[in-house]
Amino acid sequence: MTKKILIINGPNLNLLGDREESKYGKTSLEDLKKNCESHAKSIDFSIEFFQSNIEGEIVTAIQKAKGVFNAIIINAAGYTHTSVAILDALLAVKLLTIEVHITNIYNREDFRKKSLISKAAKGIICGFGINGYIMALDSVKKILENENK
């Protein structure tokens, strides 16, 4: 049975490919989505890709994921460091969650070194560029396979 994964992207990630190329690269969010869809299909996953600049919309997407998706991959972007609401939503739905960041948040400004949402994450992948999303999909696959043994 195909597993369903929700990939959530937070504020300003809609500007990928245009913003701070030295940090985030040249790949657009649409191209990232296509890469994730292609890889997901190759590992028998179905994904839904969601992006919002609005914290409440992200919280609502997380809440609606319960009972629909097998896992969440989330790059909460700037909300990583500020959003108790996103943390609470992730904790409430009790879904396998992998936190992803394109940059190494521990190699940046001090305020970025603290993730409020990590408490809800099984693991964190950061600093590998957009490949972190593929790594997260592979990690979810391995975790779900191990749970079914």
The chain-wide mean pLDDT, for the chain, equals 92
Beta-bridge partners for 3 = 45
17/131: higher pLDDT = 131
Q: Is the pLDDT of residue 90 over 90?
A: yes
Q: Catalytic pick from 24, 39, 81, 106?
A: 24
pTM of the complete model: 0.93
**Is 101 part of the annotated catalytic residue set?**
yes
CA 116 to each of CA 23, 35, 87, 100: distance values in angstroms, whole numbers, following the listed order: 22, 28, 7, 13
The pLDDT assigned to 106 comes to 77
* Structure letter (DSSP) for residue 82: T
Instruction: Choose the catalytic residue: 39, 79, 101, 106.
Output: 101
Beta carbons of 13 and 76 less than 8 angstroms apart:
no
Average pLDDT over residues 55-77: 98
Is 39 a residue of the active site?
A: no
Contact status, residue 98 vs residue 73, Cβ threshold 8 Å: yes
